[in-house]
Amino acid sequence: MGGMRKVLIIGVGAGDPEHVTVQAINAMNAVDVFFVLDKGEAAAELTDARKALVARYVERTDSRTVVIADPPRDRAAADYAGAVKDWRDERARLLGEAIERELGPDGVGGILAWGDPALYDGTIRILEGIGGVEYDVIPGISSVQILTARHRVTLNRVAGSVHITTGRRLAAEWPAGCDDVVVMLDANLACRRYRDEPVDIYWGAYLGTPDEILRSGRLADVLDDIESVRADARARKGWIMDTYLLRRRTESV
- Whole-number pLDDT of residue 251: 62
Give pLDDT tens digits along the chain (253 positions): 456 889 999 999 998 999 999 999 999 999 999 999 877 665 678 888 888 999 999 999 999 999 888 887 776 777 777 888 888 888 889 999 999 999 988 899 999 999 999 999 889 999 988 888 999 999 999 999 999 999 999 999 998 899 999 999 999 999 999 999 999 999 999 999 999 999 999 999 999 999 999 999 999 999 999 999 999 999 998 889 999 999 999 864 4
Q: Is the dihedral of CA 16, 21, 24, 25 positive or negative?
A: positive
3-state SS, one letter per residue, for the chain: CCCCEEEEEEECECCCHHHCCHHHHHHHCCCCEEEEEECCHHHHHHHHHHHHHHHHHCCCCCCEEEEEECCCCCCCCCCHHHHHHHHHHHHHHHHHHHHHHHCCCCCEEEEEECECCCCCCCHHHHHHCCCCEEEEEECCCCHHHHHHHHHCCCCCCCCCCCEEEEHHHHHHCCCCCCCEEEEECCCCCHHHHHCCCCEEEEEEECCCCCCCEEEEEEHHHHHHHHHHHHHHHHHHHCCCCEEEEEEECCCCC
pLDDT single digits (tens) 5-41:
899 999 999 989 999 999 999 999 999 999 998 776 6
Supply the pTM of this predicted model.
Answer: 0.89
Walk me through the domains of the chain, giving residue ranges and CATH numbers.
5-141 (3.40.1010.10), 144-248 (3.30.950.10)
